[in-house]
Amino acid sequence: MKLSHCFLFFILFFSRLTAQDPDILYLTWKGDPATTMTVMWHTRDGNGPSLVQYQRPGNPQWLSQEGSFHRLKKSSVTIHQVELKNLEPDTEYAFRLEGGDIHRLRTMPDGLTRPIRAVVGGDAYFSKELYEKMNREVASKDPDFVIMAGDIAYTEGLSRALCTRYWKINRWEEFFLYWSRDMVTKDGRLIPILPVLGNHDVLEGFDDPHKSEVLFYQFFVFPKENIPYWVFSIGRDLSFYLLDSCHSYPINGAQTEWLEGALQERQDALYRIPVYHIAGYPSVTSYTHRGARDIRKFWVPLFEKYGVKISMEHDNHAFKRTFPIWQGRVDPKGVQYLGDGAWGVFPDGTHYHWYLAKVLETNCYWLLTINKDKLIAEAFDNTGELIDELEINP
């Protein structure tokens, strides 16, 4: 009798363990943010299925959608992805993994029918303490989504040359573990992440994801597989141009040609906001850096041609706002460059340049509140202190 009771306890205990949600669960997009959401999670059993159940507001019925999963080579980490489609715009849904806890997600409106709150930052998981502190601060602002603009998990670069592939996988897993835990609003909504590629996310030089496995591309999804530059649009009035500042793909050539076409296609939008990693107008690094020169040579003329008002730059580990710049000079009709990538790194000392209106040696991120009448850009440090603010009219 005791043996049967012990056996029953074992079965119940094991069932509870297998029914628990994975520690890593996050949201992102590769399709229309008004009608889709991609749910991603990691397991270590190498098995499926990849199934998400979701519930329309006011309807007790649970719908289900199956996706796909892939296992990292020579690793126990399995990455699952399910894209939910045909959702209602600007609507909160309950969702769960099969047999798991209930979570919440929210789609975007199909235009600027309400203020959009977007957080933009970069250079994230370097210091665990700083990264976690900033995560909690950002989540407290209840943003619709976060654009994480490069150097996300700091797995590559000269200082990481001797680190093994297993160390790199574990480093990415730690980034997502803390993200999954921290980036949840007070009312339980998961905050989606949109990734932008940085130099510490891939090997030095161009790392072609079509020729070999690149971990960055294994953890995220894109409209075109392994192509990190694309347009994230909310209706016709707001477009973010998520760019690769010479990490997997060169700045010039095919990407610049694509960028001009994408800007031209949406030239009637109220707001067009480029986001990338390397700074064309840096606050810390060299003004003559090859990537910075190429951005000023090939992308900046397009920003000016198609009426970009602000552009988001990173990589420098400081706070930055430039004067409006037009054709290499300070001019009220020009573009302002905001940055400068200091989410979870130790801030660096800044340098004076003619184009810098304000710089600070501090951790920071930008919160953009966008509606049809105006865009308010606010910079906060990791204590929640407002350190800068500007207003942009369409």
Summarize pLDDT for 269-289 with one digit per residue, the tens.
Answer: 999 999 999 999 999 999 999
Element at 274 (helix H, strand E): strand 271-275
- Looking at residue 206, its pLDDT comes to 77
Distance CA 172, CA 248 (A): 18
Which pTM was predicted? 0.93
Instruction: Tell me what the mean pLDDT of segment 1-29 comes to.
Output: 57
pLDDT of 15 above 90? no
- Looking at residue 160, its pLDDT comes to 67
Per-residue pLDDT band at 161 (split at 50, 70, 90): low
Summarize pLDDT for 302-323 with one digit per residue, the tens.
Answer: 999 999 999 999 999 999 999 9
- Looking at residue 276, its pLDDT comes to 98
Domains of the chain: 13-106 (2.60.40.380), 116-392 (3.60.21.10)
Distance CA 103, CA 24 (A): 13
Per-residue pLDDT band at 20 (split at 50, 70, 90): confident
Distance CA 83, CA 79 (A): 13
User: Coil, helix or strand for 6?
Assistant: helix
Phi-psi region of 253 (alpha: psi -120 to 50; beta: other; left: phi over 0): left
Summarize pLDDT for 44-84 with one digit per residue, the tens.
Answer: 876 767 999 999 888 999 999 999 999 998 899 999 999 99
- Looking at residue 49, its pLDDT comes to 77
- Looking at residue 16, its pLDDT comes to 38
